[in-house]
Amino acid sequence: MQDVGHLFRARNPMNREKIITVCNGMYGSGVYGTVRALTHDVFRDKNAGHLARGFAGDTFSLLFRVQVLNGLAATPDWTAPGTVLNAWPEA
């Protein structure tokens, strides 16, 4: 079983000095996996590095798979083949 996670980051249109980050998913597992992708002690540096290498500016969107194992969302590894479904702007 799996869910879909979405990470979006951009300049805040109400305060251009700030950045807004949206963590979303189709269901709760997708939202949880999105947050865990950048907070899990094993995957956060690897996934943050993937973002740094793939996106030059402050604005990007990443759509990815979140595996659900025994009812629990597994932390996604964005460097694993087949995990990222869509990236904008394209890396």
Q: How many CB atoms lie within 10 A of CB 13?
A: 8
Q: How many CB atoms lie within 10 A of CB 29?
A: 21
Q: Where are the alpha helices (DSSP H) in 1-91?
A: 28-37, 44-54
**pLDDT tens for residues 11-65?**
999 999 999 999 999 999 999 999 999 999 999 999 999 999 999 888 999 999 9
Q: Supply the range of the domain harboring residue 28.
A: 2-88
Contact 43, 37 (CB under 8 A): yes
Mean pLDDT throughout 61-86? Answer: 96
* Rounded Cα distance, 63 and 23, in Å: 10
